[in-house]
Chain A
Amino acid sequence: MGVPRWLFVPALLGAAFVLLPLVAIVARTPWSRFLELITSESSREALALSLRTSATSTLICVLLGVPMAVVLARTSFRGQGVLRSLVLLPLVLPPVVGGIALLYTFGRRGLLGETFELLGLQVAFSTTAVVLAQTFVAMPFLVVSLEGALRSAGRRYEAVAASLGARPTTVFRRVTLPLVLPGLASGAVLAFARSLGEFGATITFAGSLQGITRTLPLEIYLRRETDAEAAVALSLVLVVVAVVVIGFARQGRSAV
């Protein structure tokens, strides 16, 4: 199949547009101070907090997103289409709007805030808030990729398993989940990456307290004002993490 030759010009232009900024980061990285910059106390704290909160939010995404994807892919009910669109809303919603929405849900004067306060929990401006913000923005990534995997896997294996006497829970555990495991893995990796990069909802809902809510993206943003070189060095760290994540996601997809 022939591709029109002129197509290569805009294609290359697009690729350059995406790749050049990465080159710029590498070019501007202060290699002599690199190690020192990324191992400073605030950097280490921010990186550790980012990894911890992203891992937690990914886990929550899996625990809640898998059942959501299964219900969306395997059942049909009135209003399912609308529900699916709403669940995927955080994908297109500006993160800062998500942060405000979360604030008015879990904040002190929010919808559930008083309930939480009675239980002795204060969510806003805590590490929990960081995790909630990340979960909110990352969940759709997991649901979308898993629902796709479930739909393309089809229901025929599940029907066979049931005809062999397996109860629905057994079918889910021994047939459905193993069949979509690559899709689940790549969904989880994408959710993790989105959590790791989360900025807008976090700063709105959780604030920027060192060691408590100041994740790596927030640290980078703040450092840029005072120490541009440090911001570049930390940015490179996130670029490397992102590249590794993409590699994992690709592997998961090619295994399907």
Chain B
Amino acid sequence: MSLSFDAAVDERGVDVALDVAEGETVALLGPNGAGKSTVLSVLAGHLVPDRGRVVLGDRVLTSQGRPGERRTQVPPHDRHVSLLAQEPLLFPHLSVLDNVAFGPRSTGASRSTSRETARQWLEEVGVADLAGRRPAEISGGQAQRAAVARALAATPSLMLLDEPMAALDVDVAPQLRQTLRRVLADRTVLLVTHDVLDALLLADRVVVLEDGAVVEQGPCAEVLSRPRSTFAARVAGLNMLRGVWRDGAVEVAYGGRSMRVEGIAAEPVPGEGEDAVAVFGPSAVSVFLEAPHGSPRNLVEVTVSDLEPHGGQVRVRAGSLSADVSVRAVSELDLAPGTRGYFVVKASEVAVYRTR
């Protein structure tokens, strides 16, 4: 079923509108405190928004502060919205099987029918052999699989996933991600995540929240390759400079001074005086100690803040910008935190987008 969400919670400074089409998985990205948990709480029915409307399929789940419309707040158990959190939260006093059977059993199915349903779902997520165990006797990854089975066995119209892989070991997460990819296909899902891989592999579309509002949305590949928000650029591992489009370049204030960044402007080309961003990958950046002369390139004066290994290279960080350079270049330039220098990037490597 399709979801239409529009809600404002004044106390937390959140005002978000988003839609999830039937059978679509939308990833909700954003830094901590951006309002992701608030959106989930409103959807699950634990938080009543000051104003807003939540519609799932043809059912109004929440309607608050809308003149001429009856106030509606469907209680959590009657929303058909299942939540899979970071921790599995399997009921410790029930066997794995009875945990998964809990949903069907609570909504009126007989004991044997719900256990049959539970068995099928445990099979589906690959932990059928653990049915008789207690949650305390299985690993974190297994428990999270059982939690997936439990959420799906409740036949939700909407699945909420709140960083479902965040608490798992790195070697367990990929397998669970594959399982989720399979069982979530064709379901209506809202996935909150920090992990760009989750978004790329599980979601059809991403919505980016910053400071309680949607700052950009679109297909994953597009948002991550052409980010217009600082957060999306960071998760995509790209550098971004914000400024205003003037005379065919982005005028940027960086490190207390104003400079012009030239690049290739994507359609629609920004109008004079409009907000724009310049985006470029760390591998397009070269590092110099002295300002180079000659070829028309973009130049940013920086102070190195951090060095870290990155693939076979070294990632040089300077404030919010980063450059990938060879180990040899680092030793030749004698780069260390505190070194002053210049990040240099060719105009042909910079993409410029209009923002709103």
Residues of chain A at the chain B interface (Cβ within 8 Å): 156-157, 159-168, 170-171, 174-175, 178-179, 181
Give the contacting residue for A164; candidates B46, B82, B93; CB below 8 A. Answer: B82
- Smallest beta-carbon distance A99→chain B, Å: 41
* Most A C-beta atoms less than 10 A away, residue of B75, B91, B151: B91
**25 interchain pairs (CB within 8 A)?**
A156-B85, A159-B46, A159-B76, A159-B83, A160-B85, A161-B102, A163-B44, A163-B77, A163-B79, A163-B81, A163-B83, A163-B151, A163-B156, A164-B77, A164-B103, A164-B151, A164-B154, A165-B78, A167-B77, A168-B75, A170-B106, A174-B102, A178-B91, A178-B94, A179-B91
A157 adjacent to B106 (CB under 8 Å): no
Does B32 lie at the interface of the complex (its beta carbon under 8 Å from any beta carbon of A)?
no
Cα(A178)–Cα(B91), bound, Å: 10
Residues of chain B at the chain A interface (Cβ within 8 Å): 44-46, 75-83, 85, 89, 91-94, 102-103, 106-107, 150-151, 154, 156
B83 adjacent to A167 (CB under 8 Å): no
Give the contacting residue for A165; candidates B80, B89, B91, B93; CB below 8 A. Answer: B80
CB contacts (< 8 Å) of A160 on chain B: these are 83, 85, 89, 91
* Most B C-beta atoms less than 10 A away, residue of A160, A166, A168: A160
Give the contacting residue for B77; candidates A157, A162, A181; CB below 8 A. Answer: A162
Cα(A167)–Cα(B80), bound, Å: 12
CB contacts (< 8 Å) of A167 on chain B: these are 77, 106
B76 adjacent to A162 (CB under 8 Å): yes
- Smallest beta-carbon distance B54→chain A, Å: 15
Cα(A175)–Cα(B106), bound, Å: 11
- Smallest beta-carbon distance B27→chain A, Å: 20
Give the contacting residue for B154; candidates A156, A165, A178, A181; CB below 8 A. Answer: A165
User: Do most interface residues of chain A lie in helix, strand or loop, or is the interface mixed?
Assistant: helix
CB contacts (< 8 Å) of B81 on chain A: these are 163
**Besides the contacts A156-B85, A159-B76, A163-B81, what 18 more A-B pairs have beta carbons closer than 8 Å?**
A159-B44, A159-B46, A161-B91, A161-B102, A163-B76, A163-B77, A163-B82, A163-B83, A164-B82, A165-B80, A165-B106, A165-B154, A168-B75, A171-B77, A175-B91, A179-B91, A179-B92, A181-B93
Which residue on chain A has the smallest CB distance to residue B102? A164
B92 adjacent to A174 (CB under 8 Å): no
- Smallest beta-carbon distance A32→chain B, Å: 51
Cα(A157)–Cα(B44), bound, Å: 14
If the complex has contacts A159-B46, A161-B102, A174-B102, are A166 and B89 also in contact, measured as CB distance less than 8 A? no
Cα(A175)–Cα(B90), bound, Å: 11
CB contacts (< 8 Å) of B92 on chain A: these are 179
The 5 A-B residue pairs whose C-beta atoms are closest, nearest first, are A166-B106, A164-B103, A162-B76, A165-B107, A164-B154
CB contacts (< 8 Å) of B44 on chain A: these are 159, 163
Which residue on chain B has the smallest CB distance to residue A177? B93
CB contacts (< 8 Å) of A178 on chain B: these are 91, 93-94
If the complex has contacts A159-B44, A161-B102, A174-B102, are A166 and B91 also in contact, measured as CB distance less than 8 A? no
Which residue on chain B has the smallest CB distance to residue A165? B107
* Most A C-beta atoms less than 10 A away, residue of B45, B75, B94, B106: B106
Cα(A162)–Cα(B83), bound, Å: 10
Cα(A157)–Cα(B102), bound, Å: 12
- Smallest beta-carbon distance A166→chain B, Å: 4
Cα(A163)–Cα(B150), bound, Å: 11
Which residue on chain A has the smallest CB distance to residue B45? A162
Cα(A163)–Cα(B44), bound, Å: 7
CB contacts (< 8 Å) of A179 on chain B: these are 91-93
CB contacts (< 8 Å) of B102 on chain A: these are 161, 164, 166, 174
B77 adjacent to A165 (CB under 8 Å): yes
Cα(A178)–Cα(B99), bound, Å: 13
CB contacts (< 8 Å) of A163 on chain B: these are 44, 76-77, 79, 81-83, 151, 154, 156
Give the contacting residue for A161; candidates B45, B78, B80, B106; CB below 8 A. Answer: B106
Cα(A160)–Cα(B156), bound, Å: 13
Which residue on chain A has the smallest CB distance to residue B150? A164
B89 adjacent to A156 (CB under 8 Å): yes
B106 adjacent to A164 (CB under 8 Å): yes
Cα(A170)–Cα(B154), bound, Å: 15
Cα(A163)–Cα(B147), bound, Å: 12
